[in-house]
Amino acid sequence: NAGVMQNPRHLVRRRGQEARLRCSPMKGHSHVYWYRQLPEEGLKFMVYLQKENIIDESGMPKERFSAEFPKEGPSILRIQQVVRGDSAAYFCASSLGLGTNEKLFFGSGTQLSVL
Amino acid sequence: KQEVTQIPAALSVPEGENLVLNCSFTDSAIYNLQWFRQDPGKGLTSLLLIQSSQREQTSGRLNASLDKSSGRSTLYIAASQPGDSATYLCAVITGANSKLTFGKGITLSVRP
User: In angstroms, rounded to a whole number, what is the distance separating the alpha carbons of residues A58 and A61?
Assistant: 8
Pairing of strands B56-59, A88-95: unpaired
- Comparing CA positions, the residue from B29, B33, B66 lying closest to residue B49 is B33
The strand pairing partners of A86, in sequence order, are none
Neighbours of A80 (CB within 10 A): 13
Model confidence over A12-56: pLDDT tens digits? 999 999 999 999 999 989 999 999 999 888 899 999 999 999 999
A12/chain B closest Cα distance in angstroms: 16
User: In angstroms, rounded to a whole number, what is the distance separating the alpha carbons of residues A10 and A1?
Assistant: 24
- Comparing CA positions, the residue from A23, A26, A29, A28 lying closest to residue A6 is A23
What's the pLDDT score for residue A1?
Answer: 52
| Residue-averaged pLDDT of chain B | 94
Q: Percent of chain A at pLDDT above 70?
A: 99
B31, B41, B99: residue with CB nearest A101: B31
The reply to whether residue A48 touches residue B98, judged by beta carbons under 8 angstroms, is: yes
Q: Which residues of B touch A91 (CB under 8 A)?
A: 43-44
